[in-house]
Chain A
Amino acid sequence: MMRHDFTGLWVYLSASPLLGLTLTLLAYLGAWQLHRRAGGHPLVNPVLLAVLALIGVLWLTDTDYQTYFDGAQFVHFLLGPATVALAIPLYAQLQRLRTMAIPLGVTLLVGAATAIVVAWTIGALLGASEVSLISLAPKSVTTPIAMAVVEALGGLPSLTAALVIMTGIFGAMVAQGLFRLIGTDDPAVQGFAIGLAAHGIGTARAFQIGPQAGAFAALAMASNGLVTALLTPWLLPWLSRWFA
């Protein structure tokens, strides 16, 4: 009888969005607690921990991703308004942005091209398939742009989504260690590099460095979205011929 009740409850809950939504928040709050207890260390990344916990729960309960996403989409939806809200920290940094316009533009072009060319070169040398290489090329920019670029070029947009997220998590984890190594201490420069290489997840990390780093990361994320969307279709035929 107990068992029957439990099965009925499970069938009911797994069909409602409540479970996916609540699990997402619980996993994130748990990950955030660990992150805080580790003193906000970048290697204890809250996105990575929450994702691993959720994949574990879904795997143990034999739940497919689509069922989970039916609930989690309410959190996912907030990415849109949150992206629009990045205009507010950007506005606060407007003075400094204006004085740095040309250096920022040059850095943007060089950084965006570096991300694409190095990813393709290493992947090709290690024998990744062409479809995977196309799907990997624009991985430094925010998911909707990267997926649209890859779709137009004949890659796998859903693989791109996974690679984009992995890039963001990795960039957020290693950026500050790398900056210490190469002696970059200006928060504006740090933020711009993180936003350029690791999009929104990097930008979330940059806001933990400070509001100035966050604003510059938001600017780099948005402008690299545009630059990579224009640059990738133009660079890939070259790279493809080079490594054919």
Chain B
Amino acid sequence: MLNAITVLLVFQLAGEVLARGLGLPLPGPVLGMALLLLALILRGGPGPGLQNTANGLLGHLSLLFVPAGTGIMLHADRLASEWPALLAALVLSTLAALAVSALVLSALQRRKRSRP
């Protein structure tokens, strides 16, 4: 458990250093994820400790968004004055992005399967 947490933090730190150092438009943790994936490929998979810790952290991933989500209260004013436009744009664009992505990916998959 302690080993696994340390591995995750080391990769996050490496991602952070790389992102800042190279001025990349990606947050450190996302680069850290890519680096860890690369390490897992080279090493042939995670050990049981890392696997268990990852399952534990990801099992309640939703919890980790609650503090940032509560920050919505800071924007009550603007959300109140422009809410019809912002809410409609948010709802429709999210539905469109979900539907378009699902339909495009399904169609491309089908085309690939139907080819010899």
Interface size, chain A (Cβ < 8 Å)? 111
> What DSSP secondary structure best describes chain A's contact surface?
helix
Interface string of A198-223 (1 = CB under 8 A from B): 10110111010000001000101010
Given known pairs A115-B96, A161-B71, the reply for A226 and B26 (CB within 8 Å) is: yes
Query: CB < 8 Å: which of A75, A76, A84, A140 contacts B29?
Result: A84
Any A CB within 8 A of the CB of B2: no
**Residues B71 and A88 in contact, CB atoms below 8 Å apart:** no
A230 to B24, CA, bound (A): 10
Any A CB within 8 A of the CB of B58: yes
Any A CB within 8 A of the CB of B79: yes
A72 to B39, CA, bound (A): 32
A218 nearest CB across to chain B (Å):
8
A96 to B22, CA, bound (A): 31
**Residues B101 and A132 in contact, CB atoms below 8 Å apart:** no
B49 nearest CB across to chain A (Å):
11
**Residues B25 and A73 in contact, CB atoms below 8 Å apart:** no
Interface string of B47-90 (1 = CB under 8 A from A): 00011011001111111111111111111001100101110111
Given known pairs A91-B45, A145-B25, the reply for A200 and B65 (CB within 8 Å) is: yes
- Considering the complex, give the chain B residue whose CB is closest to the CB of A207: B58
Which residues on B sit within 8 Å (CB–CB) of A230?
Answer: 25
**Residues B101 and A91 in contact, CB atoms below 8 Å apart:** no
**Residue from B51, B66, B95, B106 whose CB has the most chain A CB atoms within 10 Å:** B66
Interface string of B5-40 (1 = CB under 8 A from A): 100110110010000000001111110111011001
A129 to B79, CA, bound (A): 12
Interface string of B78-116 (1 = CB under 8 A from A): 110010111011111111111111111110110010000
Which residues on B sit within 8 Å (CB–CB) of A75?
Answer: 63-64, 66-67
